[in-house]
């Protein structure tokens, strides 16, 4: 399961389901490929998102170490903060569209279940009713509707919550990855083996994912435009946090943490191995030569 397909399970998890219950109900109501709602959006945008994140971190690390001194933990965190801030340019609309597509399936499944119950209760009196045909929502339709009704700001709904998640994630992830990766270096001037970068990415990614899971729960709730039966609406980050705490308790902020760690760990491990070829170092090395 990829990070992005796994997020469909996560959307259900933040809506009061357990991992196994969510998985079973999603497959039962939408089939196996229902797990991949929103995959097209992510396949299109996940590459630039990760490229911006990784390259921005290297860019800030490069400039923060210009004095020739070794990067302190504080400077590593500042570089991660800059990387997390830059990536939301792509992340926010990607998450927004992905969540709407996944919510469309969840809400449709709810309506289908309610319709089936209504048909069952009235079948003896009125006979069998015509089955309801679901109109499949596409990313293009959602984008057009958001742009028409709210302009470009519609795609950036939940920007504050996305920053609240992605900036702390990068502050935790990049320093942790860098220091774990250093443990596999036999010489400071020689890169660690690729498998060390992979394992470091896995550990750092899963740790950061669990650490910022409460922020991701809040972001997902805020970006869900469609609401199911008895689901709350939220006016902002504080309102969302308050309602979750009061109605579901503090443990609600950890819903989906296991799932997120499970899917994000290999994603960042693979991303770091791909990045192992040193694209950022190459670019940062030749840019001063071109300027000269």
pLDDT tens digits, 230-287: 677 888 899 999 999 999 999 999 988 888 888 888 888 888 877 765 555 555 455 4
Number of Cβ within a 10 Å radius of residue 134: 13
Question: What band does 184 get if pLDDT is binned at 50, 70 and 90?
Answer: confident
Phi, psi at residue 129, to the nearest 5°? Answer: -90, 160
Mean pLDDT across the stretch 62-78? 85
Angstrom distance (rounded) from CA 41 to CA 11: 16
Residue appearing with tokens 């797990």: 35
Q: How many residues would you count in the chain?
A: 292
**pLDDT confidence tier of residue 39, bands split at 50, 70 and 90:** low
Average pLDDT of the chain to the nearest whole number: 76
Alpha-carbon span 154 to 145, nearest angstrom: 9
Neighbours of 19 (CB within 10 A): 16
pLDDT band at 149 (very low <50, low <70, confident <90, very high): confident
Q: What is the pLDDT of residue 98?
A: 80
* Full set of structural domains in the chain with CATH: 4-93+156-286 (1.50.40.10)
Measured CA to CA, the distance from residue 131 to residue 141 in angstroms comes to 24
Is the pLDDT assigned to residue 4 strictly greater than 50? no
């Amino acid at each position: 399961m990829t990070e992005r397909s796994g997020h469909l399970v996560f959307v259900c998890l933040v809506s009061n389901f357990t991992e196994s219950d969510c998985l079973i109900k999603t497959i039962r109501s939408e089939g196996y490929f229902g797990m991949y709602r929103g995959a097209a959006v992510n396949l299109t945008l996940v590459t630039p998102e990760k490229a911006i994140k990784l390259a921005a971190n290297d860019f800030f690390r490069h400039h923060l170490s210009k004095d020739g001194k070794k990067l302190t933990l504080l400077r590593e965190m500042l570089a991660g903060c800059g990387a997390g801030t830059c990536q939301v340019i792509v992340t926010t609309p990607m998450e927004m569209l992905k969540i709407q597509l996944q919510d469309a399936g969840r809400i449709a499944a709810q309506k289908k279940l309610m319709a089936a119950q209504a048909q069952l209760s009235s079948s003896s009196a009125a006979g069998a009713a015509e089955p309801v045909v679901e109109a499949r929502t596409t990313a293009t339709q959602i984008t057009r509707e958001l742009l028409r009704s709210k302009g470009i700001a519609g795609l950036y709904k939940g920007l504050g919550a996305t920053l609240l998640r992605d900036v702390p994630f990068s502050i935790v992830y990049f320093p942790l990855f860098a220091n774990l990766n250093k443990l596999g270096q036999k010489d400071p001037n020689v890169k660690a083996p690729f498998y060390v970068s992979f394992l470091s990415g896995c550990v750092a990614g899963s740790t950061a994912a669990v650490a910022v899971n409460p922020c991701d729960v809040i972001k997902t709730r805020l970006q869900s435009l469609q609401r199911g039966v008895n689901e709350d609406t939220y006016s902002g980050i504080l309102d969302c946090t308050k309602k979750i705490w009061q109605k579901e308790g503090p443990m609600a902020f950890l819903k989906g943490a296991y799932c997120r760690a499970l899917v994000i760990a290999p994603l960042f491990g693979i991303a770091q191995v791909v990045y192992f070829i040193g694209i950022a170092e190459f670019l940062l090395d030749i840019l001063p030569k071109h300027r000269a």
